[in-house]
Structure 1
């Protein structure tokens, strides 16, 4: 009887943990919710203030103003292509390096690893890196988003710790059946590494999606700008947001009386944030599994 009471009793430590987690969730989630609320609220009404938890006057005109702008559509397309190509190539290349460094018969492995780890802590700086990009003829090309991000040392460490826990007997049995290293990698190692690959893919997608510095520094063509760089312009330059509202006003009846620069900014922020938020639930299962396995067994 006493044991049942102990089991059913809530400890003060658990109560404190629950309260702290609720506060933490609110702090993390409310800014995004505040942006969404402002994006769906009429701009002129939003300027009166007091819109915090729910839109007071519902409207879609703010989003119409965003999607009427061809520049943001182009930036959105560039970012999607960057995320798709960059994630696939980066994950595949990093997995190849990780698998190679896991093999016990790799020659000169003791030389490769220190050089790879050195690049994780030390770099040449922005100006030498910019000169390198220009000398490789990557400046102002789409490939400046892809080639420099092909390999990530931290991602390699996570993938490597996962692959080391795979049974070596799998490789030996596959070799006895005549399989080569590439076939073993593609048909055995990669399928078994789905959890950690999903986790790294999520990291890479978010990194590519949120990146604006590479677009700002290494491209000059407006057609190559990413969605985050365009969002930066919308937030920091009032004329850009005002121009988006003016464009929508020419197409949407009475839009000029409902849209403001601030409401357009909030709608643009919501458009750039929601795709990544929507992707996460589909990768959450693999993400959690991949990270916990790498942390416990690595």
Structure 2
């Protein structure tokens, strides 16, 4: 006979839980409300929004700001560059970093301690922006699409997460593949990668967000407007000081009674952040699992 005993919570436990819930609700509100504020004002008439007082819902609904944003082929080109560099850059980064990390996870690798020491040093020290710029210039990467891809193909921080995960994979899987005649590359490609989906999704999410949000590379290393990503495009709009100057720099140079420089900024912010926000829910379960495996077990 099973007897279930329900433990009564004390008054102190109830107060503690209530306070925790209130604090978490406050944190959620502080985190989410600025996003909601930007979204609401971006869908409001620009001139009407200048009067203020819009906090929860659009007072005068309008899509003119979004029409102004999408009316220029410049932003569509920038969006295409951003999508391309995010997809290509994330794929190559995950594959190359995982391949290097797989080799470094093997204790029998010749010179492994030396490579690990060099990698750890790079986590704390760097050459600086000027030497980095001169290096990319000498390599011929300036004003080329590959400047978004090749310099970001490897990250030792991400490699550490991969190494911690690979060490938890049973060696019997690799031994069985070797018996079947597979070499190290086939083992990595056919055995290791398929069982590493959680950590792959974690690193892909990390680097995908970085590639999508990166405006600095396009601002420093790219002069060709046809190769600038949408984040650099957004930066140039937000960086405008006067509303007249900002409107002249707005997509298509459109100036109407319902569109202002501020409404253009808000609409562009929504356009640039919406796609990456949509990806998060699909990768969240892999992201959490990969982080736990890479941090606790590592």
Q: 1:247 Cα deviation (Å)?
A: 4.2
**Aligned Cα root-mean-square deviation (Å):** 1.9
Q: CA deviation at 1:104?
A: 2.9
Superposition pairs of residues 200-219 of structure 1, within 5 angstroms: 200-219=203-222
Q: Which residue of 2 aligns with 1:101?
A: 104
Q: 1:86, 1:189 → 2: CA distance? A: 21
**Which residue in 2 is equivalent to 1:177?**
180
Runs of 4+ in 1 over 6 A off after TM superposition: none
Contact 1:101 1:109 in 2 (8 A): yes
For the pair 1:85 / 2:88, whether they are aligned, the reply is: yes
Equivalent position of 2:8 in the other structure: 6
* In structure 2, distance between residues paired with 1:30 and 1:89: 36
Correspondence 1:1-298 to 2 at 5 A: 4=6, 6=8, 11-237=14-240, 238=243, 239-244=245-250, 247-248=253-254, 256-298=256-298
Kept after mapping to 1: 8 A contact 2:162/2:199: yes
TM-score of the aligned structures, taking structure 1 as reference length: 0.93
2:75–2:251: 8 Å Cα contact kept in structure 1? no
Counterparts of 1:234 and 1:18 in 2: how far apart (Å)?
40
* Deviates further, 151-160 or 230-239: 230-239
In the alignment, structure 2 segments of 5+ residues that lack a partner are none
8 Å CA contact 2:74–2:251 kept in 1: the answer is no
Structure 1 unpaired stretches of 5+: 250-255
Alpha-carbon distance between aligned partners in 2 of 1:286 and 1:154, rounded to the nearest angstrom: 18
Are 2:72 and 2:251, in contact at CA under 8 Å, matched by a contact in 1?
no
CA change 1:134–1:245 in 2 (3 A) is closer
The structure-2 alpha-carbon separation of the partners of 1:245 and 1:200, relative to structure 1 and needing over 3 Å to count, comes to closer
Q: Secondary structure at the match of 1:118?
A: helix
Query: Are the aligned partners of 2:248 and 2:254 in contact in 1 as well (CA < 8 Å)?
Result: no
Taking the aligned partners of 2:5 and 2:174, their CA distance within structure 1 comes to 50
- Label 1:121 to 1:220 Cα distance change in 2 as closer, same or farther (>3 A): same
Structure 1 residues 231, 241: CA separation in 2 closer, same or farther (over 3 Å shift)?
farther
CA contact 1:133–1:139 (8 Å) conserved in 2 = yes
Residue 16 of structure 1: CA displacement?
A: 2.0
Q: Separation in 2 of the partners of 1:8 and 1:85? A: 56
Distance 1:111 1:84 in 2: 32
CA distance in 1, matches of 2:114, 2:249: 56
**Aligned with 1:11: secondary structure?**
helix
C-alpha distance in 1, partners of 2:232/2:275? 16
- Report how many aligned residue pairs link the two structures: 292
Q: Any idea what the Cα deviations from partners look like across 1:225-283, whole Å, max 9, x if unmatched?
A: 1111111111111424444377446xxxxxx2211111111101110111111110111
Counterpart Cα distance in 2 of 1:217 and 1:280: 29
Q: Is the 8 A contact 2:71 2:251 kept in 1?
A: no
- Give the TM-score of the pair, scaled to structure 2: 0.93
